[in-house]
Structures are given as C-alpha cells and as structure tokens.
Amino acid sequence: MGIAMASSASPGTAPAVSVVMANRNGAAHLEAAMRSVLRQTLTALELIVIDDASTDESPAIIARVAVDDDRVVALTSPARGGPGAARNLGLARARGQWVSVVDADDLVHPRRLERLVAAAEAQGASVVADDLIHFSTDAPAAAARLFSGARFDRPRALGLSGLLDDDFAGAPNHIGYVKPLALRRALEPIGYREDLMVGEDFDLLLRLAAAGHPLTVLPGAWYLYRRHPASVSHRLDPAHAAAMVRAMKDFAAAAGPFDREVTAALDRRIARMEAGAQEAAVLGHLRARRYAAAAAGLIGKPSSARPVLATTADAARRRFLTPSRSETPCQPLRLRAPGATGAARPASWGDLALKPLSEMTSDDRAALTAATADPTRTVLVEGDPGDDLLGFVPEPGRLVGSGTAVSPPPRVHIRTPTYKRPEMLRRALRGLQAQTVPDWVCDVYDDDPEQSGRAVVEGLADARIRYSANRPRRHASRNLDFCFSRYNPHGARYFFVLEDDNQVLPRFIEDNIALCEREGVGIVLRNQFVEHCSGTPEARLSDWGLLDTKLPEGPCPPDLLHLSVMADMGVSNGGLFWSAEAASDLEIGMPCNATFQEYLRTVAIVEPVYVALEPLAIWAENGADTARDLGDGAGWLRRELDLKRSVQDLQRRVWKDASSEARRAFLANPGFRYPAGKRATGLVKSLCRFRTGGALPRREVLRLALRGAAIRVAGRPARGLDRFVEDRLVSRRRSAAPSPP
C-alpha cells in the first residue's frame, strides 16, 4: 500500500504521545475530533491522521487543520485497507514514547492524555484506558458510561481472564470499546490484524495481554464515544462477524495453551461469537429478502430464532414506535457554572447546576454530555464553566450567553427541511441572514443520508443556524410535517417554515410579528411571489402573489378558510407564520404527501388568521422535483389518483361540516375572491353539489361530475383520513355545540 505523507510535525525532539486517528469518510465529525486532540493540556504530542481512501471532504479537512497546527501528520492510503491497516500505518510513523488511539468521530477531554500518562507511569503499566461516555448528536438520548458500579473505582489490571469476563461480552459494555494508551515498544511487535473491520481493538488487547501487557483500567471517564448510524461497529455485517470468529480461534490456537479458567472463558466467548455470526447471517438474508436462505439458517441452528426475532422486533419498534422529537420536546436549558448567581429563568427551561470538576463523578460528566448533546437545543450559559467542564460538552461552540446573566431566548424559530439541494439551501439561509429582525434561530433538518446540507451550514458560520441530520430518514412529507410541530427547544415565541427551495424577503419576520401583535392573531397567512422554473437558468419571479385572487386582506375566520379547499388547494406552507400562543395544531401527523398536507393544515386551523397580501416570501414552482422524495414506490398516475381522491373525500367532509347558511352563500360569499366558476368547479368535482346557479354550463357540469366519479372509483383515500377528520372536524364541532339545559 502506498503512502503519500505531508507532515508538518517538528523534526526535533520526539513527542511524548503519538495520537493515531484512522479515518474513512468521517468528514461530518473529523475536524471536531482532531481539534479535541490538539487542545490537550499535554502539548508534547503529534496527531497522526490516516485517511483510508475517503471519498468525502476528509482530505481537505485534514489539510485545513494541519495548516493551523504543525503537530498534525497526514497519511493517505490510496486504496481502502480498513481500520487495522490504517492504524498500522500510523504506528509505523509514530515517534512518541506512548501511543494513544482516538477514533475520527469521537472527542476527548482536554486533560485526558495528561491524566492517562501520569496514571500509567504511577502504576507502572504499559497499557491503560479510562472509562468512556457514549453520546449521540444525531439521535440525542441519555448518555451512558461503559463501566458502571464500583468495579472500577480504583485502577484495575485486566489480564486475559479479566478481558474475557462474561460481563464485558456484549454491547454497549464490551471492553473492546475502550481506547487505550500504550507504550510504543509494547505495541510495535503486536500491531493490528488487518482483516478485521470490527473487533480489531479487542483482538489487540487480547494479544497485548498474552504478551505480558495487561490492560489497566483507570477510574473516571474522559473519552466521549459518539454513537451514530454510520458507525461500522453498530452494524454487524455477516462477513465481519465471521472474521471476528476466525480471529478469536486464531488467537486461541497461537497464544495457548491457557489455564483452565482462561480456556473456559475463551470457549464461551467463541461459542457466543459463533451464535452472533449465525444471527448476523440470517439477518443479512432477511434484509436482502433471501427468505429461503434465512429459513435454512434458522433450521440449521434453531437457537438463533429467538435472538433474530428479538432483533427484528427491536428494529421495527425503533422505526415505527420510537417517539419523534415533536412527541418528546427538548426544552431550552440553563447551564449554571460553579459560582453563578442563579438568576431567574423562564419556567419552561431546564436547569443544570454544575459542580467544580474535582467534585464531579463520572455520572455527573455523563449527565452534562447528555444534556448538551442535542444540536437543536439552545443551551444558555450562566457564568464561565471553563475548559475543564466544557470538555464534556460535545459542541461547546453552540452554547449561548456568558457572564452572570442568562441571554434571552431567540424571538423566532425557523424550521428548514432540506434534501439534496445544497445551492438552494444556501440561498434560502442567506435570505434569513438578511432579515431586519436579527434575534432568530434556524434548525436545518437534513434528510439526505450523505448530509449534503452540513457543509452549507458550516460554510455560513452563523451560530444562529443549526444543523441536524435526520436519523432515520423522514422523507419529504414527514420531514416537512415535523417542522410544523409544537416542538420548541429554544423557547421562541414565533415560528415559520422555510423550505430549502423557497425564500423570504428582508421584512418577512418584522412585518409578520407586527401583524400578530397589532391584530391580536396567532397565525398570519402571508402572500408569496412565485418563482417559475426554479433551479434552472430560466428562473423568473411573478409580478403577482398567490393570494391575490383568493382571499382579501384582513382577518379570515376559520370556517371560511376551511371552505377555501372547495375551490383551491390549501394554505401554502411557506406563507404561514404563527406564534406560540396559537391554538391550532399545525402538525398533521398522518401519512400523506406534502401537497395533501396543505389541504389538511387548512382545516386544522381553529382560529382566525390574518391574510396579508403584500408578498414578502417566494414560493418555488417545482412540485415535480419536490415530489421525488415521497418515500414510497408508487408511480405518478397512482399518486395523482390517490391525491385527488383524498382531496375529494376531505372536501365532502368540509362541505358536510359547514353550516347550512355557509353552504347557501358559498358561490357568492364576498369573503372569497375566487371567481364563482372556480368555486362551482370544486363543488361539482367533489360531487358535493351540481346546482351551480348558472356559474357553469350544463355540459361542463356533466364533464366535471363524470371526472369526479372516475376519481372516486379509481383513487384511494389516504390512510388515516377518517380519523383525522374525526379528531379535527367532528370533535371540534361537538365541543363548539351548546350544552343541553
């Protein structure tokens, strides 16, 4: 394997520690990992980053960080070799007395190396490791430590029997997760197995222990281990599982014979790993829809059936039953540094008082990491936590506030769903930066598995714009619907949705807030220009607005707004601006495409809205492009028929729900600006009414009625529509009815 080396490390005195970091397509977290190493209080180090033939932006990131710090040594593999091969390249280049392994998606506390080296020297140990904190910024949850209880409240040496202890046999407590610091002279003759994609760390620890270098585990957690869906160790591929079994058998054959205790532990571990490899093979067949092969695997080893079923059920539960962030909102958090005064805070905020580092337990550190891991959560700092405490915060640059007073929450929260349109996303976000009201925060929810929006957000370098990758993907309609939820992590008062292909003009926020406050309304429906041929060289703006011929300026009662779906599509997502006091629940919560959501969102509004006719936003006319990410396999014709049938069913329910007076006045109601012919067209197509008072010729009435009947026969209504209508229309009508005397 060839090596292209670009080292800016000093050729003089050898460093005390060589940090080896293997990277493969880790651009999303690589720079944060590198800078956490370079911030160590033990400064006599070199950081050797081995890029394993990445196809993302990793090489550019490594080069950029290397320019800032001459302790970075960059190595490049022209062909992918795996983590073991990459680390062996780093070991061959290392000059330090000690070697520390850090993964390219993890973080380390600034004092970690200083503490590990001092402890190793005090213990006379050649291999040491500390506890670690599991965390996630992609799917925030409670952080957890690798070790719990009192087993490691003091340094403990683990030989072969300790490493093979049954308590350390499975995730998330597998001893192989630890990231050791080892003497280079102990590591060099051992090295990593290069045929392992998973489990190479544990294999190394076993072979070190067999060579007389047991692992000494130190109390305290100073390593932040990031868990995310792209982590190789979280997806046990059948081939990887089989390779781990081979490696364990090779070790048993080459390093033995062992005493009875170690031999028994090895036999149990190999049997457990063989069962895991069999389960991985069956699950691999199921994922590939090779059902006959999966069945054969289960028949060959029936004991695999229960764990396979349990794994499948757990995956289904996570996919379909795990609450979304909208169901488990994460409120803003005040973080009080030691000695802070404890100023008053809004009741909706969380509160976390920090102790001095010397008084913090490992559980306290894990709690701090968990509380600050969600990148969409606003964390307002009171006092100065200092680098020691901020070392347990995954993204300290996102913290807001300083001194002795808590900064106020942002006034406006913008939600931006995006999917593979980075240039349009950049344009949309720059429009936000031009707003005349500056106190806002924007969360970008990227549905692209390749996270194309991350580079856009990082390139803008605006602390008000936060990036979040959807894990798992929501697809277009669910991603958009989530943006209308009551989820309010920043404690904002006003909200709107800015889709990645839309735009807002500079006074959008200012004028909408003024209307809410002046008119006393919770929702503004703002007019929008139309961008024709969006995303093409022929793109141009209309000289008219979407609402010009639909509704008049001023307050619009909800019953009138509902009837607008009889003649036209519902409210435009990009035109809605609402306050935290709005009574309407704008999140639909049922499976349907984004177009039908607009119809449903119209009838979900239960309060007067203010219709503002000055266009201060731009709607992109590219529906065909947007519909490409629906998350289903239906063809265009099937989607259109089902959409039209769903709209028809909703129109019929809205018509039924309207008062008899509203139905009689519909064709001539001055509250609409739609032409009477357009209103009549909606009535006939929905099969609600065929008498149009002369607004349509009889032949046109017949044609529209036949078209409506064909849609009713060929189309399929959206699943959950009846329940939605029951929850949002029928129950509202019942609650509004006068109580019997």
Predicted local distance difference test score (pLDDT) of residue 326: 42
- Name the average pLDDT for the chain: 85
CA distance 229 to 172: 15
Which residue matches tokens 């509160």?
Answer: 351
User: Each residue of 677-736: pLDDT tens digit?
Assistant: 999 999 999 999 898 888 999 999 999 999 999 999 999 988 888 888 887 776 565 544
Predicted local distance difference test score (pLDDT) of residue 333: 84
CA distance 157 to 159: 7
Which residue matches tokens 């800078």?
Answer: 35
For the domain covering 4-233, report its CATH number. Answer: 3.90.550.10
Structure tokens at 338: 């030691």
User: Each residue of 409-424: pLDDT tens digit?
Assistant: 789 999 999 999 999 9
Q: Where are the domains of the chain?
A: 4-233, 236-322, 333-398, 636-736
Q: What is the DSSP secondary structure assignment for residue 435, as one 8-state letter?
A: -
What's the predicted TM-score (pTM) here?
Answer: 0.64
Structure tokens at 306: 């229960």
> What's the start-to-end Cα distance of the chain, in Å?
88
Predicted local distance difference test score (pLDDT) of residue 305: 57
Predicted local distance difference test score (pLDDT) of residue 266: 87
Q: Measuring CA to CA, which residue among 572, 569, 438 is closest to residue 496?
A: 572
Mean pLDDT of the 491-517 span: 96
CA distance 45 to 31: 17
CA distance 738 to 741: 9
- Residue length of the chain: 741
Question: Mean pLDDT lowest for which of 51-65, 324-338, 461-475, 505-519?
Answer: 324-338
Which residues in 190-309 belong to E strands, given as ranges?
215-226
189: helix, strand or coil: coil
User: Each residue of 296-322: pLDDT tens digit?
Assistant: 666 666 665 555 555 555 555 444 444
Predicted local distance difference test score (pLDDT) of residue 141: 61
Question: What angle is formed at CA 411 by the lines to CA 410 and CA 412, rounded to 5 degrees?
Answer: 95
Query: Exposure pattern of 71-102 as b/e (b: 16+ CB <10 Å)?
Result: bbbbbbbeeebbbbbbbbbbbebbbbebbbbb
CA distance 448 to 349: 31
Q: Measuring CA to CA, which residue among 499, 686, 510, 688 is closest to residue 598?
A: 499
Q: Where are the alpha helices (DSSP H) in 544-697?
A: 558-563, 594-604, 623-626, 636-657, 660-665, 676-685
Predicted local distance difference test score (pLDDT) of residue 552: 94
539: helix, strand or coil: coil
| Nearby residues of 487 by Cβ (< 8 Å), 6 or more positions away | 325, 326, 329, 330
Strand-pairing partners, residue 19, are 47, 100
For 564, phi then psi, to 5°, come to -65, -25
Please write down the HEC assignment for all residues of 475-504.
Answer: HHHHHHHHCCCCCCCCCCCEEEECCCCCEE
Question: Mean pLDDT lowest for which of 370-379, 512-521, 599-608?
Answer: 370-379
pLDDT confidence tier of residue 446, bands split at 50, 70 and 90 = very high
Question: What angle is formed at CA 230 by the lines to CA 427 and CA 289, rounded to 5 degrees?
Answer: 110
pLDDT at 270 over 60: yes
Predicted local distance difference test score (pLDDT) of residue 285: 65
User: Each residue of 25-39: pLDDT tens digit?
Assistant: 999 899 999 999 999
pLDDT confidence tier of residue 167, bands split at 50, 70 and 90 = confident
User: Each residue of 332-356: pLDDT tens digit?
Assistant: 888 888 887 766 666 667 888 999 9
pLDDT at 151 over 80: no
User: Each residue of 62-90: pLDDT tens digit?
Assistant: 999 999 999 999 999 888 999 999 999 99
Q: Measuring CA to CA, which residue among 594, 596, 610 is closest to residue 561?
A: 610
Mean pLDDT of the 370-398 span: 84
Predicted local distance difference test score (pLDDT) of residue 300: 62
